[in-house]
Amino acid sequence: MKALVVYYSRTGNTRDVAQDVARELNCDLEEIYDTQKRSGIIGWLKSGYQANRGKYTIIKELEKNPASYDLVIIGTPVWAGKPAVPVSTFLRDYRDELNNVAFFCTLKASGSESALQAMAELSGKTPVETMVIEESEIKQKTCDCKLEPFVRDVVDF
Ligand SMILES: Cc1cc2nc3c(=O)[nH]c(=O)nc-3n(C[C@H](O)[C@H](O)[C@H](O)COP(=O)(O)O)c2cc1C
């Protein structure tokens, strides 16, 4: 099974998890690069507004071709109960190039269900597996108990 982990991260949480998943699966990893500035309070407000309104952005073209992978694992932070805008854009732009998908999200507390649901709708696919990791679990390094079953299940899919 050939897998690719694709993620967007504004402040590093989702990147940490994506790197762990790719390391455990010994698979390729690619970051989604946005063309909009999202740092600081203005970036935070803009991002929340855009996610809430279902807006898109312009992302840089991926280096790897998702169509050449059996499984693409897509990671996003939750923004206003939605996937991050660059991830929504990735799912819209690459939906025809995704064979099978698995999703994970990182968040502070709530909104994972609606974010994962939106990811399924945007990709037009039911994920083979999903994982939700809270920021506190990343900071305290206690997310292995979620990572292990997720990695085991996607390997077996
Ligand atoms: C614009 C914005 C909106 C957010 N909305 C939510 C939310 O609805 N629910 C939640 O639990 N966390 C929310 N968060 C927190 C992030 O999901 C959380 O910090 C995530 O781990 C950040 O991932 P990153 O470091 O990879 O960017 C939001 C963060 C931002 C920047």
Domain boundaries, the chain: 3-156
Asked whether residue 144 carries a pLDDT value surpassing 90, the answer given is no
What spacing in Å lies between the alpha carbon of 78 and ligand 1's midpoint? 5
Query: Is residue 10 in contact with ligand 1, taking CB distance under 6 Å?
Result: yes
Which residue has its alpha carbon closest to ligand 1 atom 2?
79
Q: pLDDT-based confidence at 39, cuts 50/70/90?
A: very high
Ligand 1 centroid distance, CA of 99 (Å)? 28
Residue 116 has pLDDT above 90, yes or no: yes
Q: Give the pLDDT band of residue 143 (cuts 50, 70, 90).
A: confident
Question: Per DSSP, which regions of 52-98 are E strands?
Answer: 71-79, 82-83
How many CB atoms are located within 10 Å of the residue 36 CB?
Answer: 13
Is 86's C-beta closer than 6 angstroms to any atom of ligand 1?
A: no
Tokens of 121: 């709708």
Distances (CA, A) of 136 to 19, 76, 81, 133: 17, 16, 18, 8
131: pLDDT strictly greater than 90? yes
- Per the CB < 8 A criterion, the answer to whether 154 and 71 are in contact is yes
Among residues 134, 26, 131, which one has the least CA distance to residue 74?
131
With beta carbons less than 8 A apart as the criterion, state whether 122 and 83 touch.
yes
Which CATH class for the 3-156 domain? alpha beta
Q: Which amino acid makes up residue 13?
A: N
Predicted confidence band at 12 (pLDDT cuts at 50, 70, 90)?
very high
- The predicted structure's pLDDT at residue 28: 98
Cβ(89) – ligand 1 distance below 6 Å: no
**Whole-angstrom distance, CA of residue 113 vs CA of residue 148:** 21
Contact 82, 76 (CB under 8 A): no
In this predicted model, what pLDDT tens digit does every residue of 80-101 receive, in sequence order?
Answer: 999 999 999 999 999 999 999 9
